[in-house]
Structure 1
C-alpha cells in the first residue's frame, strides 16, 4: 500500500506554515532514511506540530517498528540482504513494496503517537469531542501500522472480537 493511502491526520484546522524539518533520520544500514518533510506532507501536518516534536515522534516510531522487525531482519540478513531494498519484492512507483510498507508502518506509528499527545486545554464540549476523535484516529493509525508490518513480513491478518 502506498503512503498516500494511509489515514491522514490534520493536527489543527489552521494553516500554519511548516518549519524546516532538518536532515533525514537515519537508522541502521538495513533500513531506509526517513525524511521528516515527507512525513509532514504525506500525513498533512502543518507548522503547529514543531519540527522537534515531529522528529521525536518519528525517532520513537522507527525504534518501535525496527524492534518489531528485529527477528525478521536477522533472517533476511542471514539470507544475504544488506538493506531492505535489496530483498526481492515487487516494485511500484520505482520503489520496493517492502520499503513502502516499512515507511507506512513508521508513519502510522508516529502519527498515532502525535494524535494521542495532541490535546486541547479547552474544556468545552467541542474540545472533548476532538479528543475522542483523536483517540479513534490513533487507534486506526495503529491498526494501519500493524497491517503494514504484517504485510511486510508476509504474515496473514486475522481479526478476533471477544463477545
Structure 2
C-alpha cells in the first residue's frame, strides 16, 4: 500500500463566471480556485454552489452598507476609488476575499466529512486552512468594509 495521493487538477474548459447583483462584481470560479488553492477533487458544480452561497451571505451582511453607498450615488463597488490597491478599490479586494474565504470554508466543512480517517485528517490539516480560520477571514473582510473593529468583547 502506498501513501501516494494524486491531486486532481480542475478540468474547466471555460472560465465559468457567477453573475452577481450590479453593485458587486461577478465571481470567476477559476479565480477562486487559484486564490484558495482548491484542486479538481472539488467539482465545478460543487464549487459553484459554495460560491453562490458565499455571495448570498456576504451580500446579506453588506446590505445596509450597500444601500448607504447607493444613496450617495455610488452604483458599483468599483466606483469607490478613494483607496486604491493594485489599481482597484480596497472594497473590491475585501469583497472578493470575503466571498472566496466563505466559499472555501463551506467546501472544507463538507469535504472533511467524506473520507476523514485519522491519517487523512492529519495530512490535510497542515495543508489547508481550517473552516473556522476561513470563516474568520471572511468576517474580518466584511468588518473592514463596514469600518468596524475586528474584535468583539463582552464584559462579564
- Aligned pair 1:91/2:91, yes or no? no
Give the Cα separation in 2 of the matches to 1:62 and 1:119.
22
For residue 141 of structure 1, report the CA deviation from its aligned partner.
0.4
Q: How does 1:29-68 map to 2 (within 5 A)?
A: 29-68=22-61
1:23 match = 16
Give the Cα separation in 1 of the matches to 2:117 and 2:91.
44
Runs of 4+ in 1 over 3 A off after TM superposition: 120-124, 127-136, 159-163
Greater RCO structure (CA 8 Å; 6+ sep): 1
Q: TM-score of the superposition, structure 2-length normalised?
A: 0.85
Q: Please, which runs of 5 or more residues in structure 2 have no aligned partner?
A: none
- Aligned pair 1:74/2:67, yes or no? yes
SS class of match (2:133):
helix
Give the Cα separation in 2 of the matches to 1:99 and 1:146.
15
Give the Cα separation in 2 of the matches to 1:139 and 1:162.
24
Residues 18-42 of structure 1: CA distance to partner in whole angstroms, max 9, x if unpaired? 1216421111110011110010011
How many residues get paired?
A: 151
Q: How does 1:82-161 map to 2 (within 5 A)?
A: 82-119=75-112, 121-122=114-115, 124-127=117-120, 129=122, 137-160=130-153
Give the Cα separation in 2 of the matches to 1:142 and 1:131.
18
SS class of match (1:104):
helix
Point out the structure with max Rg over C-alpha: 2
For residue 55 of structure 1, report the CA deviation from its aligned partner.
0.4
